[in-house]
Amino acid sequence: MKNISEIFFKYRSYTPIPFLILMLFFQQATLISITTGFIVVAVGEFFRFWGVSYAGSETRTTGGVGGTYLVISGAFGHVRNPLYVGNMLIYLGIGIMSMAWFPYLLLTAFLFFYTQYHFIIKEEENFLKSKFGDDYKKYCSVVPRWIPRINKYSNPAIPQPELNIKAAFKSEKRTLQAITLIIVILLIIFLV
């Protein structure tokens, strides 16, 4: 199982590509689907950006699971995996925008990414348990893995990285470029 987790972790930036190609090629977009999907994409990127603003560029590693801090600031105070929640919302939003083989392609993508993230998260959680022990166990007992909670979790005893918007923009540059490219291509196909 560790091998599957490592493969999913290493190639997680590339696994959306086949789904995105299918969504573009078989798109059946409408003005309502584009507008609705864009809002969902924006909410997803908000979660990603908020998380990266605290977790920093460590979220971009592909060599292996790791981390300097047990980040509980920002989005991590509401949900344990804000970047993966954000990714799922981005995929959902693009699926809604395209309406390709709706809802079958979207459901297939959701199941694939849920499975992929399940394995990645297990590996990350094992690392965090071994590195941060009881602090991480307490955090897990209060903060959900997938569905954000309203009240923010905090523990002043856990050192936190500083909020760094500039580093977040630098780290998210590739994600923002990919989202923009997909939306522009989808809009061109829709308008032609």
Q: What is the pLDDT of residues 17-73, one digit of tens each?
A: 999 999 999 999 999 999 999 999 999 999 999 999 999 866 555 455 667 889 999
Mean pLDDT over 146-150 rounds to: 96
* Closest residue by Cα to residue 27 from 116, 113, 117, 105: 105
What dihedral angle (degrees, nearest 10) is formed by the CA atoms of 92, 58, 3, 108? 0
> Cα angle at 74 between 71 and 78, to 5 degrees?
90
SS3 call for 66: coil
Question: What is the share, in percent, of the chain residues with pLDDT greater than 70?
Answer: 94
The string of DSSP letters for 14-54 reads TTHHHHHHHHHHT----HHHHHHHHHHHHHHHHHHHHHHHH
* pLDDT attached to residue 135: 97
Rounded alpha-carbon distances, angstroms, from residue 16 to 8, 21, 149, 150 = 11, 9, 27, 29
Taking only the tens place, the pLDDT of each residue in 97-137 is 999 999 999 999 999 999 999 999 998 999 999 999 999 99
The pTM score is 0.92
Rounded alpha-carbon distances, angstroms, from residue 152 to 11, 37, 119 = 31, 27, 26
